[in-house]
C-alpha cells in the first residue's frame, strides 16, 4: 500500500508559562493492522523557528514511524494562547484528535471523553511517572491526565544588586522585606517584583500561599481561599511590601509575569519568583543571578509550586492500542530528556530525572529538580479549577491594592470557588 503523505501544520509562537508494548488487557480496545493516522495537537514551547515544538515532534514522529509500519503521526502545533481553545473547538465539532498535549484535562474526563492511562500505557511507563505528578493527573483516583512537562518555582535574585547593597539571599519573609527595603534605598526599580496581573496571577498567588502554610485547597481537597493562613499571607504582602513601595512602579494587579521576567533580565529587579526559562533570559541579558527556595515565616518554605502540562487521549477515534504504543515511545527516557533539555523544563519521569540530576550539562536545572518532590500543583483534577483560576487572575491583585481588605477579596474568591465546585 502506498504510504500516505503526512501533513504537518503549525504556528510558531512563544510557549508557556515538560517504548514498551502497551497493555492490551483493557476492555473494548480497538485498532487492527490496517494503516492508521494518529492526530496529535500539541502546544508550542519554542521561542523561534529554530527551536519550534514542531521540529521536536517531527523528529519523534519520524523516528516512531520508521519502526512502526502502517502508523502515521500527524502533528499540529499551536501557541499556548490558542491550543486549549483549538482542542475544545475540535471536540465540540465531533472531530477530537487522538491526542492533545494541553493545559488541562478534567473537563474532558468528566464528560467521559478520555481514555484512562491504564487503557493505554504499559505498566513500566506508568510506574516511571513522578508520583506527585501522576497523582495530580487523577479524577476520583483514576488517572486521565498524563504529565508531559513540569516546572517548579524558586526565588531568583540579582547577585550584582545584592552585592552592591551588602545583602545575602533571604530565608524568611522578614529577611525578604528587609532586603527589598535596602534595594529600594539603592534605587532599584523593582526590589521585589510581584506579578499579580491577569497573565499568570494564579502562579504567584499559589507560591505565596504555600510559603504561608496555606494553599488553594485544604488537606481534604476542599477549596479554602479565605483560610486564616491565606488571609494572613496577603495581609502581610499588602502591609509589608506593597504599601511600603517595595514592589516597583507598576501595581501588582497590572504587572504580568512576562513583563516581570523581562525587567529582571534587564537588571531592574532585585528578587522575583521564577521558573527555569528565566535562567536563559537572565544570562542573555547579562544578569548574574542566584536562586534559593522561597522564604517562609521562619525559614525557607517547605513546599514549592509545581506546574505540569498534560497529555490526553480521546476515545472518539478508537485507536487505543496505537495511541498507547506511541505514547510509550514518547515517554522513553531519551525522548523525555531531549524535550526537557530543549525547552529548559523538568522531566516528568523518574528515569529522566535521575539522568538529569547527575548530568553536568543539566547542572543549572538541579535546584528545580530538587524542589520537584516537595512541590504542589494546582487542583487541576477539579473541573471547577478553570473557573477559579480565571477569577484569581482577574481579582487577586485587588487584595493588595490601596485601601483594600485582603480578607474581603479572598472571601469573594472562595465564594466563586464554592459555587463553581457545586456545579461541577
Give residue-wise pLDDT tens across range 228-274: 999 999 999 999 999 999 999 999 999 999 999 999 999 999 999 99
pTM score of the predicted model: 0.84
User: What residue spans in the chain does CATH classification 3.40.190.10 cover?
Assistant: 9-150+308-372, 154-293+384-423
32 pLDDT above the threshold of 70: no
pLDDT value of residue 374: 87
Average pLDDT, the chain: 90
Element holding 356 (H helix, E strand)? helix 350-358
Residue 219's pLDDT band (cuts 50, 70, 90): confident
* 9-150+308-372 belongs to CATH 3.40.50.10190: no
Number of other residues whose CB lies within 10 A of the CB of residue 76:
21
415, 228 Cβ separation under 8 angstroms: no
Question: Phi-psi category of 205—alpha, beta or left, where left has phi over 0 and alpha has psi -120 to 50?
Answer: alpha
pLDDT tens by residue, 293-302: 999 999 999 9
29 pLDDT above the threshold of 80: no
pLDDT value of residue 14: 33
Mean pLDDT over residues 108-116, rounded? 96
pLDDT value of residue 34: 65
Side-chain half-sphere CA neighbours of 301 within 13 A = 29
pLDDT tens by residue, 147-162: 999 999 999 999 999 9
12 pLDDT above the threshold of 50: no
Fold assignment, 154-293+384-423: D-Maltodextrin-Binding Protein; domain 2 (3.40.190)
Amino acid at each position: 500500500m502506498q504510504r500516505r503523505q503526512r501533513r504537518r501544520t503549525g504556528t510558531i509562537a512563544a510557549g508557556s508559562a515538560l517504548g514498551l508494548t502497551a497493555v492490551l488487557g483493557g476492555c473494548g480496545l480497538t485498532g487492527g493492522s490496517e494503516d492508521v493516522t494518529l492526530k496529535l495537537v500539541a502546544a508550542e514551547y519554542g521561542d523561534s523557528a529554530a527551536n519550534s515544538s514542531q521540529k521536536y515532534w517531527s523528529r519523534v514522529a519520524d523516528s516512531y514511524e520508521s519502526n512502526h509500519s502502517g502508523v502515521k503521526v500527524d502533528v499540529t502545533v499551536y501557541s499556548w494562547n490558542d491550543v486549549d481553545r483549538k482542542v475544545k473547538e475540535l471536540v465540540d465539532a465531533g472531530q477530537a484528535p487522538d491526542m492533545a498535549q494541553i493545559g488541562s484535562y478534567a473537563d474532558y474526563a468528566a464528560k467521559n471523553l478520555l481514555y484512562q492511562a491504564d487503557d493505554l500505557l504499559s505498566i513500566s511507563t506508568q510506574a516511571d511517572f513522578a508520583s506527585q505528578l501522576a497523582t495530580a493527573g487523577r479524577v476520583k483516583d483514576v488517572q486521565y491526565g498524563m504529565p508531559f512537562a513540569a516546572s517548579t518555582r524558586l526565588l531568583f535574585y540579582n547577585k550584582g544588586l545584592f552585592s552592591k547593597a551588602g545583602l545575602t539571599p533571604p530565608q524568611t519573609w522578614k529577611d525578604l522585606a528587609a532586603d527589598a527595603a535596602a534595594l529600594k534605598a539603592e534605587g532599584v526599580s523593582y526590589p521585589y517584583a510581584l506579578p499579580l496581573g491577569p497573565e499568570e496571577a494564579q502562579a504567584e498567588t499559589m507560591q505565596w500561599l504555600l510559603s504561608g502554610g496555606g494553599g488553594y485547597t485544604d488537606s481534604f481537597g476542599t477549596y479554602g481561599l479565605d483560610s486564616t493562613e491565606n488571609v494572613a499571607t496577603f495581609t502581610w504582602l499588602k502591609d509589608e511590601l506593597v504599601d511600603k513601595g517595595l514592589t516597583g512602579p507598576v501595581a501588582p494587579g497590572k504587572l504580568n509575569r512576562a513583563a516581570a521576567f523581562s525587567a529582571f533580565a534587564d537588571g531592574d529587579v532585585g528578587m522575583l519568583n521564577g521558573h527555569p526559562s528565566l535562567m536563559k533570559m537572565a544570562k542573555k541579558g547579562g544578569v548574574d543571578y542566584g536562586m534559593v527556595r522561597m522564604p517562609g515565616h521562619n525559614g525557607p518554605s517547605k513546599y514549592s509550586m509545581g506546574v505540569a502540562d498534560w497529555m490526553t487521549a480521546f476515545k472518539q477515534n478508537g485507536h487505543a492500542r496505537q495511541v498507547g504504543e506511541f505514547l510509550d515511545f514518547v515517554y522513553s527516557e531519551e525522548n523525555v530528556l531531549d524535550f526537557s533539555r530543549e525547552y529548559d523544563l523538568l522531566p516528568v519521569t523518574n528515569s529522566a530525572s535521575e539522568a538529569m540530576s547527575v548530568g553536568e550539562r543539566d547542572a543549572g536545572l538541579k535546584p528545580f529538580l530538587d524542589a520537584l518532590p516537595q512541590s504542589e500543583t494546582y487542583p487541576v483534577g477539579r473541573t471547577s479549577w478553570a473557573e477559579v483560576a480565571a477569577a484569581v487572575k482577574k481579582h487577586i491583585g485587588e487584595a493588595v491594592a490601596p485601601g483594600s481588605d485582603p480578607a474581603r477579596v479572598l472571601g469573594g474568591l472562595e465564594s466563586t470557588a464554592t459555587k463553581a465546585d457545586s456545579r461541577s
